[in-house]
Chain A
């Protein structure tokens, strides 16, 4: 009942207001103002109020709602019946005072103060929590003593929400920047004044919070001369970002210069007009990584150099056999450039006879999981094949799949040649030892057989000449064995020389006499162009001369003539030459004959019997006397072997 009375009272008041308005219009018309009467009508005023998009409220001095416009009802999802005549605070909240609004409204009434941009945040019955901005002012009723308050409300909930989001984003960003381990700074203006520098950046500089507001090159003057200033200026001027990777920078930390490495970006910072106003710096200290990378590079270089230094030939191929790497030794041997080598098929370097063997060995290696290990011939830059010992191992990944192969080839050509020569030498030793043994055995058995025959008179058995022959063959065996021992002494470096002074001409004469005595058929021409004494091992020099003459006869199947000449060589040397008219030696073989076990080949191997060590021994003997040994020869015409001895040899 009381409520109805109150509404009635309010209706009366509103009617009064309208009357007042009408009276004012009439008064203005009476005054003769040219204002359209329609404009002054109360309906028109109401229409304006109703059409204003912002919610409007008219309160009396008891804060009871006298009138609300359509926008208000819509915004608050309420009706005239629900609110008109009711206390605004009772409608909005059960609390008496909404964040001081009541006090503000009281001030409007009592002190005629304007309420401007007062913000409230309230949970409303029908529309939930909202933010409103309220403006208000007092409207005086001249007819009545009571005053009214006109409030305009603006829903600023969305704006508030956005502001909150923005604020929280900004806080997050700040936190991110300041807690980041990346070094972050913002340098403003052409002086590069530090506006922002996070803790990581300040720690790296070794500075405190007082760096803010100072030019960066005042804070870290040592970097100015390291090209950093130019980089910043370029970014500032061109508005193009700059990125650096593992750039070394020297910093002065407490007076000590420390080298660090950074990945960094200089990002131009522009204002709303697109003009550069600063440079953002984001850097990452990658010193540890860079040092590690440098170590890896240095280590790789060291390994590469080591591989290039090795005489072994190393390759790395992929699982299909395509070469990915080879060392310098391979390039030197093959005469290829690296590109050429990598492009060529590795089978091009192997001997055609062995390609099948290699393929099989590769397959065996895969099935048995054993390393590849084989002797192969590999082509050099001159197209010649040389023996190599090759080893290959597959490199497997964690799934045990082969990803590449490493092969190492060691040249063993000389060893192989030596091995072959040794085999040949053994065959030869066996042959040469068996030859005198054959004669000895034959004569011993013949003598025994003759002596056992009953009807043979003892005096008719030729015991003496047969024993002589046996003795000669035994001597021959002893000589062969002595040669072998000499060879072994040379190998052990134990060949001793007993130097005495003797007449060389006389010694040669004696040797020639002995040779003729044992072989009447030989035709030796001896010529003394120079006479001298030498200080040398007489027996060893004799051995050399006998070897020369024996060779001369051995390699002259159709001639028994041998010319021996003693003459003076320049620079105080005496020379002895032994010349034959035999088969001769071609130029290539002339370089080989003084090597161990080398024998001149005829049409087939092993055509000539005799130890291959004679010339080797002679060469050793003469070299140890500081003399020289050489040969002049022509195929089909014969050979001339010469040795020299120094005349003042002490």
Chain B
């Protein structure tokens, strides 16, 4: 089981993701503040980040690209999520390990998280 950080400005989605992942035995931190991502990763020994693309004031791809610039987080698994159409390529280009399209099946989320963790 892993320590997972969820960054999404929509509180309900954050809580929903936390509830599902905790139900599967993960330890989850929810943040609505993308600017504190690095701080949250360090403070909580995060092993996987679920990052929304469209966050108030910040574009999730910038947050992801910023993580990849840092040696400390260059290999950290990041799953980017969005309800926008046709943005998976942009997210992958920004350094996302995987992309999850909203809305999603719980099973898709779980298997994607398991797979990403296994590969890292």
- Point out residues on A near B: beta carbons under 8 Å: 427, 430-431, 434-439, 441-443, 445-446, 449-450, 462, 466, 469, 472-473, 554-555, 557, 583, 602-604, 606-609
Q: Which residues of A contact B16 (CB under 8 A)?
A: 438-439, 442-443, 446, 469
Asked whether B23 lies within 8 Å of A438 as measured between CB atoms, the reply is: no
Q: Report if A431-B54 is in contact (Cβ < 8 Å); known contacts: A442-B17, A442-B106.
A: yes
Asked whether B84 lies within 8 Å of A469 as measured between CB atoms, the reply is: no
B54 (CB) vs chain A CBs: closest residue: A609
Between A and B, 25 residue pairs with Cβ closer than 8 Å are A427-B84, A430-B84, A430-B85, A431-B84, A434-B83, A434-B102, A438-B104, A441-B103, A442-B16, A442-B106, A443-B16, A445-B105, A445-B107, A446-B19, A449-B106, A472-B12, A473-B12, A555-B56, A557-B58, A583-B57, A606-B59, A607-B54, A607-B59, A609-B10, A609-B56
Asked whether A557 lies within 8 Å of B57 as measured between CB atoms, the reply is: yes
* Cα–Cα, bound, A434→B83 (Å): 6
Q: Which residues of A contact B20 (CB under 8 A)?
A: 442, 445-446
Q: Report if A435-B102 is in contact (Cβ < 8 Å); known contacts: A443-B19, A603-B62.
A: yes
* Cα–Cα, bound, A449→B23 (Å): 10
Asked whether A431 lies within 8 Å of B83 as measured between CB atoms, the reply is: yes
A608 (CB) vs chain B CBs: closest residue: B56
Q: Which residues of B contact A466 (CB under 8 A)?
A: 19
Asked whether B103 lies within 8 Å of A437 as measured between CB atoms, the reply is: yes
Q: Which residues of A contact B117 (CB under 8 A)?
A: none
Q: How far is the CB of A229 from chain B (nearest CB, A)?
A: 89
Asked whether B19 lies within 8 Å of A602 as measured between CB atoms, the reply is: no
Asked whether A469 lies within 8 Å of B15 as measured between CB atoms, the reply is: yes
Q: Which among A427, A435, A450, A603 has the highest number of chain B CB atoms within 10 Å?
A: A435
Q: Which residues of B contact A430 (CB under 8 A)?
A: 83-85
Q: How far is the CB of A298 from chain B (nearest CB, A)?
A: 59
Asked whether B12 lies within 8 Å of A436 as measured between CB atoms, the reply is: yes
* Cα–Cα, bound, A473→B84 (Å): 18
Q: Would you list the 10 A-B pairs with minimal beta carbon distance, nearest first? A: A434-B83, A438-B103, A445-B106, A442-B16, A557-B57, A438-B102, A439-B12, A441-B103, A431-B83, A439-B16
Q: Mark B17-61, 1 if CB is under 8 A from A, else 0.
A: 101100100000000010000000000000000000010111100
* Cα–Cα, bound, A554→B10 (Å): 11
Q: How far is the CB of A206 from chain B (nearest CB, A)?
A: 88
B10 (CB) vs chain A CBs: closest residue: A435
* Cα–Cα, bound, A445→B54 (Å): 24
Q: How far is the CB of B91 from chain A (nearest CB, A)?
A: 13
Q: Which residues of B contact A609 (CB under 8 A)?
A: 9-10, 54, 56
Asked whether B10 lies within 8 Å of A446 as measured between CB atoms, the reply is: no
Q: How far is the CB of B19 from chain A (nearest CB, A)?
A: 6
Interface residue B13 (Cβ < 8 Å from any Cβ of A): yes
Q: How far is the CB of A448 from chain B (nearest CB, A)?
A: 9
* Cα–Cα, bound, A603→B23 (Å): 37
Q: Which among A436, A557, A608 has the highest number of chain B CB atoms within 10 Å?
A: A557
* Cα–Cα, bound, A603→B13 (Å): 24
* Cα–Cα, bound, A316→B10 (Å): 58
Q: Which among B19, B85, B105 has the highest number of chain A CB atoms within 10 Å?
A: B19
A446 (CB) vs chain B CBs: closest residue: B20
Q: How far is the CB of A433 from chain B (nearest CB, A)?
A: 8
- Point out residues on B near A: beta carbons under 8 Å: 9-10, 12-13, 15-17, 19-20, 23, 33, 54, 56-59, 62, 82-85, 102-107, 109
Q: Report if A554-B56 is in contact (Cβ < 8 Å); known contacts: A435-B83, A438-B102, A449-B23.
A: yes
Q: Which residues of B contact A435 (CB under 8 A)?
A: 10, 13, 83, 102
* Cα–Cα, bound, A607→B54 (Å): 6
* Cα–Cα, bound, A222→B60 (Å): 94
B23 (CB) vs chain A CBs: closest residue: A446
* Cα–Cα, bound, A427→B13 (Å): 19
* Cα–Cα, bound, A330→B103 (Å): 51
* Cα–Cα, bound, A608→B84 (Å): 13
A445 (CB) vs chain B CBs: closest residue: B106
A434 (CB) vs chain B CBs: closest residue: B83
Q: How far is the CB of A43 from chain B (nearest CB, A)?
A: 142
* Cα–Cα, bound, A602→B57 (Å): 6
Asked whether A606 lies within 8 Å of B54 as measured between CB atoms, the reply is: yes
Out of A439, A445, A554, A602, name the residue touching B59 (CB < 8 Å). A602
* Cα–Cα, bound, A191→B83 (Å): 103
B53 (CB) vs chain A CBs: closest residue: A606
Asked whether A438 lies within 8 Å of B54 as measured between CB atoms, the reply is: no
- In addition to A462-B19, A604-B62, 9 A-B residue pairs with Cβ atoms within 8 Å of each other are A431-B54, A431-B82, A435-B13, A438-B16, A438-B103, A443-B19, A555-B56, A607-B58, A608-B57
Q: Which residues of B contact A437 (CB under 8 A)?
A: 103
Q: How far is the CB of A471 from chain B (nearest CB, A)?
A: 11
* Cα–Cα, bound, A164→B84 (Å): 110
Asked whether A434 lies within 8 Å of B56 as measured between CB atoms, the reply is: no
* Cα–Cα, bound, A435→B53 (Å): 12
Q: How far is the CB of B79 from chain A (nearest CB, A)?
A: 14
Q: How far is the CB of B107 from chain A (nearest CB, A)?
A: 8
Q: Which among A442, A466, A472, A606 has the highest number of chain B CB atoms within 10 Å?
A: A442
Asked whether A557 lies within 8 Å of B56 as measured between CB atoms, the reply is: yes
Q: Which residues of A contact B105 (CB under 8 A)?
A: 441, 445
Q: Which residues of A contact B58 (CB under 8 A)?
A: 557, 602, 607
Asked whether A603 lies within 8 Å of B103 as measured between CB atoms, the reply is: no
Q: Which residues of B contact A438 (CB under 8 A)?
A: 13, 16, 83, 102-104
A519 (CB) vs chain B CBs: closest residue: B11
* Cα–Cα, bound, A554→B106 (Å): 29
B107 (CB) vs chain A CBs: closest residue: A445
Out of B9, B23, B62, B82, name the residue touching A450 (CB < 8 Å). B23
Out of A439, A446, A554, A606, name the residue touching B84 (CB < 8 Å). A606
A437 (CB) vs chain B CBs: closest residue: B103
Q: How far is the CB of B25 from chain A (nearest CB, A)?
A: 13
Out of A445, A449, A607, name the residue touching B57 (CB < 8 Å). A607
